Structure 1
Amino acid sequence: MPLYKTITASGNTKVLIWKIEEPETELGNRILLTKSCKERLASMKSEIHRRGFLSVRQLLKVAGYEAADLFYDENGKPHLRDGKKISITHSFIFSAVVISDIEVGIDIEKQRDKIQRIAKKFVDYEWSFLTEQHLTRELTVVWCIKESLYKVFATPGMSFKQHTKIIPFSLEKGQTVSWIHYEEHVQKHEAFFLEFDGFTCAYTLSLDDACLPAGRDEG
């Protein structure tokens, strides 16, 4: 079963991670795609993108939804028709969704040293606590958290470097606090992260809506 990991962050927030091991034809089995889904799938030239797209629809099915239950707003932010909040990500051989009653964001990235070359584009305050010993891993955490915050806020013009801030963290603890400061908007978010198979996954939960305990990894 390619459902790689399930994490319950609270009674109303669940993270589902899929390891994409099946061929494209198998990933398309037992899911009902809408017309727009079929059109998007047909427009994707990369097989890995098509498999990622289909694996997300498989995750929706695991969570009790159909592809038709998902839609996107004018800023590209996904929504569920029942009012639940959702965020989606996929990278190489992994995809994930987080579903909650509160505002959430999620991102998965492969840990690659080249992130050090672009760090100046998204890191500011965080330089004060990053370490040389674990720089690639820590930068990947920073990127994943900031990408998750961006997915929550989904506002054109938002800058990772200028408008987001992450409080010092340790790789062992796997959680921290993060902020969005954009014009008159100030939002506080709990951030959780984990590492597996050379990848990093982070998800953020709005503390403006609820203060939540650390997630419970169900394997």
Structure 2
Amino acid sequence: MPLYKSITVNSQTAVKVWRIEESYAKLIEPLNLKPESLERVLNMKSELHQRGFLSVRHLLRNFGYTDQDLFYDSYGKPHLKDGKHISITHSFEYSGVIISDKPVGIDIEKQRPKIEIIAKKFVNYEFNYLNGNSPNYMRKLTVIWCVKESLYKLFATPGMLFKEHFMVIPFMLSDEQTVAWIDFQSKKYRYNTAFFEFDGFTCAYVIPDE
């Protein structure tokens, strides 16, 4: 079973990443999906998305949960029946799950040059320290996107915009951590952020500041 990476963030928080190598048939065979999950996966048009969906259920099993323990609210945010907080991501051949006693978010993205074209859609403050001529420009943009996507998943509040409400503090790729802020409706929230790169992908996750 290709559990790619397992990280103990702290005593209440863990991250697991799966490399999706199995076929659809191999992935679904050992799973006991509830009817709505089975219907959802069967209606997916892309086998890549199907395999991503199923690999997340394998990560749940690795945490000691089943598909029956997971449900989604009206905003599409996942929850666990025991009250622990969960966030889910999958991108191409990787998927990831973070589970904690506190609200959390996670995102995995493939590093692709096109992110430079759309940077103005999600970057504002960060342009103050980014260097568009740097060979690391694409990688740093991918970190910023992953951090902001993780914040969005954590907060799951309509009206939030990556460019206007989320801010990522300056960082070096070698730091593998930074701080992010949400400034929304006259309130400010501080989050600790960690990130790592692997096989042409970036993963970031966020947890509230103590």
Q: Which runs of 4+ in 1 moved over 3 A?
A: none
Specify the alignment match of 1:96 in structure 2.
96
Secondary structure class of the residue paired with 2:175? coil
Residue correspondences, number: 208
1:129-150, Cα deviation, whole Å (9 max, x unpaired): 1232211000000000000000
SS in 2 for 1:205: strand
Residue of structure 1 in register with 2:121 after alignment: 121
User: SS of the residue aligned with 1:82?
Assistant: coil
Distance 1:67 1:185 in 2: 35
1:79 match: 79
**What percent identity do the matched residue pairs reach?**
57
Q: Residue 55 of structure 1 aligns with which residue? A: 55
1:109-162 alpha-carbon deviations (Å, 9 max, x no partner): 000000000000000010111232211000000000000000011011110000
Q: Distance in 1 between matches of 2:106 and 2:52?
A: 15
Q: 2:57, 2:129 → 1: CA distance?
A: 38
Question: Could you tell which deviates more after superposition, 114-123 or 126-135?
Answer: 126-135
Distance between the aligned counterparts of 2:175 and 2:194, measured in 1? 9
Do the aligned residues in 2 keep the contact of 1:69 with 1:80 (CA within 8 Å)?
yes
Cα distance in 2, alignment partners of residues 158 and 107 from structure 1: 17
Q: Secondary structure at the match of 2:113?
A: coil
- The residue that corresponds to 1:180 in the other structure is 182
CA deviation after TM superposition for structure 1 residue 185, in Å = 2.9
Which whole-Å CA distance do the structure 2 matches of 1:197 and 1:42 have between them?
29
Tell me the residue number matched to 2:64.
Answer: 64
Q: Please, which of 144, 147, 153 is the counterpart of residue 146 of structure 2?
A: 144
Letter paired with 1:92? F
The unaligned stretches of length 5 or more in structure 2 are none
**Are 1:165 and 1:179, in contact at CA under 8 Å, matched by a contact in 2?**
yes
Q: Which residue of 2 aligns with 1:107?
A: 107
* Conserved 8 A contact 1:31-1:61: no
Does the CA-based 8 Å contact 1:2-1:21 persist in structure 2? yes
Tell me, what secondary structure is at the counterpart of 1:172?
helix
Runs of 5+ unmatched residues, structure 1: 211-219
Segment of structure 1 superposing worse, 79-88 or 24-33: 24-33
Query: For each residue in 1:74-125, what CA deviation from the matched residue of structure 2 results, as whole angstroms up to 9, or x when unmatched?
Result: 1111100000000000000000000000110000000000000000000001
Opposite residue 168 of structure 2, the aligned amino acid is I
1:41-82: CA deviation from partner (whole Å, max 9, x where unpaired) = 111000000000000000000000010100011111110000
Contact 1:126 1:165 in 2 (8 A): yes
